[in-house]
Amino acid sequence: MTYPKLLDRPTAKAHLAALASSESNGSPSWHDAHGTERERIQALLDLVNSDSSEISSQRLAALRAFLEERVAVRERATLMSPRLEKEGAKYGVEGKQVPHRTVALSMAAETLPPLLNDHVHKVMHFSNAGVARTRKGRIPKTGELVSVVLEGAGGELAVSEYVSCDSHEAALNYALALVLAKNHGYGMNLCRCHAEGCGQFWLLPEKLTGKPSRNFCSRHEADKKRLSDAERKRRQRAQPITKRRR
C-alpha cells in the first residue's frame, strides 16, 4: 500500500490564494447561521460533496484539496506508525510520534489566521426563555378544544453563544480551520471514500457503536460487502463436493 499523495508548495499556494479571494455570490445563510462547530463542518462537507455552484470552481477545488490533505495526514500516520514503533523499539526509544504536519498544512496555518481574525466573532444572545402559561378549554358554541396563551415566555433567563462570520468566504474558511486545527479533534474524524469516482467526505459520529469505516462511504461499503459475499459464494460453489465415507 502506497502513501497518499500530498500537495506540493506551488499547488498549495494557488489554493490558498483562491481561499483569500472575494466572491459576490455568497449565500447569506452561511454566515448568518447559528450552528454548532460540527454543523458548520457538515455544511462545508455537504457543499464540497455536491460540487455546489454556490462558490467558484477554484474555491471548491481549494477546499476539497485541503480536506483531502487532512485525510492524507491521518492515513499516512496510520501506515507509518508500525514502522516507527518498530524502529523505536530497536533503539530503545518511543516511536509512536507520527509527523502530522505537511508543507500545505503549514502554509495554511500561516495564511488562514489573517483571513479569519476580525471576520469571525463570537456573539452572545440573551433571552427570556420561560415556558408560556396556557389554558385549555372548549368554545361553547362549537365544542372545539382550544389552547389560549395567557402569558408569554418569562421567568427564566437563557444565555446562548454562537459564531458569526461577516462573509460567505469567512464562514467557509472558518469551517475549514476547524478541521485543520490541531487543538480540535475534527481532523482525526474526517474520512473520505476511496472508491473510484466517489471521493465523498464525512465525519465519524461522535459516539461510535462499533469499528467505523474510514475508507469507503456507506454506499460503497455496502457494495464492497455485496461483492465480497458474492465472491465467497462463488468460491464455495467452485469447491468440489466430497461425500463422507461411512
CB-CB neighbours of 59 under 10 Å: 21
pLDDT digits (tens, 9 = 90+) for 100-118: 679 999 999 999 999 999 9
pLDDT of residue 23: 82
Please tell me the pTM assigned to this model: 0.73
pLDDT of residue 9: 96
Q: How far apart are CA 213 and CA 113, in angstroms?
A: 33
Q: Taking the domains of the chain in order of start, what are their residue ranges?
A: 9-119+167-238, 121-165
1-15, 73-87, 145-159: range with lowest mean pLDDT: 73-87
Residues with Cβ within 8 Å of residue 100, at least 6 apart in sequence: 73, 77, 182
Which of 43-57, 142-156, 196-210, 227-241 has the highest mean predicted lDDT (pLDDT)?
43-57
Q: How far apart are CA 30 and CA 167, in angstroms?
A: 8
pLDDT digits (tens, 9 = 90+) for 155-202: 788 888 889 998 889 999 999 999 999 889 899 999 999 888 888 999
Q: How far apart are CA 243 and CA 246, in angstroms?
A: 9
Alpha helices in the chain, H assignment, sequence order = 9-20, 28-32, 37-49, 57-90, 103-116, 168-180, 218-238
Query: In which band, very low, low, confident or very high, does the pLDDT at 125 lie, cut at 50, 70 and 90?
Result: confident
Q: How far apart are CA 215 and CA 10, in angstroms?
A: 28
17-26, 45-54, 111-120: range with lowest mean pLDDT: 17-26
In total, the chain counts a number of residues equal to 246
pLDDT of residue 246: 47
Higher pLDDT, 48 or 221: 48
Q: Dihedral of the CA atoms 100, 106, 109, 110 (nearest 10)? A: 160
31-40, 66-75, 200-209: range with lowest mean pLDDT: 31-40
Got the DSSP string for 81-105?
Answer: HHHHHHHHHHTTS---------HHH
Residue 177 phi/psi, 5-degree rounding, is -60, -35
Q: Please, are residues 87 and 95 in contact by the beta-carbon 8 Å criterion?
A: yes
Q: Please, are residues 157 and 106 in contact by the beta-carbon 8 Å criterion?
A: no
pLDDT digits (tens, 9 = 90+) for 50-101: 988 889 999 999 999 999 999 998 888 777 655 545 555 555 555 555 556 7
Which of 19-28, 39-48, 127-136, 212-221 has the highest mean predicted lDDT (pLDDT)?
39-48
Q: What is the average pLDDT score of the chain?
A: 80
